[in-house]
Amino acid sequence: MIKHSTDFDAVVIGSGPNGLAAAITLQQQGLFVLLLEGKSTIGGGLRTDELTLPGFQHDVCSAVHPLAAASPFFETLPLHHYGLEYIYPEFAAAHPFDDGTAAILQHSVEKTALSLSGDKDAYIKLLGPLVKSWPGMAADILGPLHFPKHPLDLAAFGLNALLPATYLAKRFKTKEARGLFGGMAAHSIQPLSNAATSAIALVLMANGHLKGWPVPKGGSKNIANALAGYFTSLGGQIQTNTYITSLDQLPSAKTVLLDITPKQLLAIAGHKFSNIYKWQLERYRYGMGVFKIDWALDAEIPFTAADASKASTIHIGGTFEEIANGEKQTSKGTHVDKPFVLLTQPSVLDPTRAPEGKHVAWAYCHVPNGSTKNMAYQIENQIERFAPGFRERIIGKHTIDAAQLQEYNPNYIGGDINGGIIDLAQLFTRPALRSSPYRTSAKGLYICSSSTPPGGGVHGMCGYNAAKRALKDVFNIQL
pLDDT per residue as tens digits for the range 177-227? 999 999 999 999 999 999 999 999 999 999 999 999 999 999 999 999 999
pLDDT at site 143: 84
**pLDDT tens for residues 32-66?**
999 999 999 999 999 999 999 999 999 999 999 99
- Burial annotation 433-450 (CB, 10 A radius, 16+ → b, else e): eeebbbbbbbebbbbbbb
Residue (of 5, 13, 3) closest to 265 by Cα position = 13
**Strand 215-216 versus strand 359-367 pairing type:** unpaired
* Chain-centroid distance, C-alpha 239: 25
Return the HEC string of the chain. Answer: CCCCCCCEEEEEECCCHHHHHHHHHHHCCCCCEEEECCCCCCCCCCCEECCCCCCCCEECCCCCCHHHHHCCCHHHCCHHHHCCCEECCCEEEEEECCCCCEEEECCCHHHHHHHCHHHHHHHHHHHHHHHHHHHHHHHHHCCCCCCCCCHHHHHHHHHHHCCCHHHHHHHCCCHHHHHHHHHHHHHHCCCCCCCCHHHHHHHHHHHHHHCCCCEECCCCHHHHHHHHHHHHHCCCEEECCCCCCCHHHCCCEEEEEECCCHHHHHHHHHHHCCHHHHHHHHCCCCCCEEEEEEEEECCCCCCCCHHHHHEEEEEECCCHHHHHHHHHHHHCCCCCCCCCEEEECHHHCCHHHCCCCCEEEEEEEEECCCCCCCCHHHHHHHHHHHCCCCHHHEEEEEEECHHHHHHHCCCCHHHCCCCCCCCHHHHCCCCCCCCCCCECCCCCEEECCCCCCCCCCCCCHHHHHHHHHHHHHHHCCCC
Q: Which amino acid is at 57?
A: Q
What's the topology of domain 8-40+240-285+419-475? FAD/NAD(P)-binding domain (3.50.50)
Rounded to 5 degrees, what angle do the CA atoms 277, 450, 214 make?
170
Give the length of the chain: 479
Q: Hey, which residues does 398 pair with through a beta bridge?
A: 294
pLDDT at site 89: 96
Q: Which amino acid is at 215?
A: V
The neighbour count for residue 212, using CB atoms within 10 Å, is 24
Q: Where along the chain do the CATH 3.50.50.60 domains lie?
A: 8-40+240-285+419-475
pTM beyond 0.85: yes
Share of the chain above pLDDT 70, in %: 99
Q: How far apart are CA 30 and CA 9, in angstroms?
A: 10
Q: How far apart are CA 403 and CA 410, in angstroms?
A: 10
Q: Which amino acid is at 115?
A: S
**pLDDT tens for residues 125-152?**
999 999 999 999 888 888 887 777 778 8
Sign, Cα dihedral of 381, 46, 465, 37: positive
pLDDT at site 107: 95
**pLDDT tens for residues 378-404?**
999 999 999 999 999 999 999 999 999
What is the chain's alpha carbon radius of gyration, rounded to the nearest angstrom?
A: 21
* Chain-centroid distance, C-alpha 464: 16
Q: Where along the chain do the CATH 3.90.660 domains lie?
A: 86-214+288-408
CA atoms within 13 A on the CB side of 192: 26
pLDDT at site 2: 63
Q: How far apart are CA 130 and CA 334, in angstroms?
A: 36
**Strand 33-36 versus strand 8-13 pairing type:** parallel
* pLDDT confidence bin for 5, thresholds 50/70/90: low
For residues 160-187, give the mean pLDDT. 97
Give the CATH number of domain 86-214+288-408.
3.90.660
pLDDT at site 194: 97
Q: Hey, which residues does 178 pair with through a beta bridge?
A: none
* Chain-centroid distance, C-alpha 311: 18
The answer to whether 323 touches 182, Cβ cutoff 8 Å, is: yes
The answer to whether 264 touches 411, Cβ cutoff 8 Å, is: yes
**pLDDT tens for residues 419-441?**
999 998 898 889 999 999 999 99
**pLDDT tens for residues 275-301?**
999 999 999 999 999 999 999 999 999
State the burial class of residue 381 (Cβ atoms within 10 Å of its Cβ: 0-12, 13-18, 19+): middle
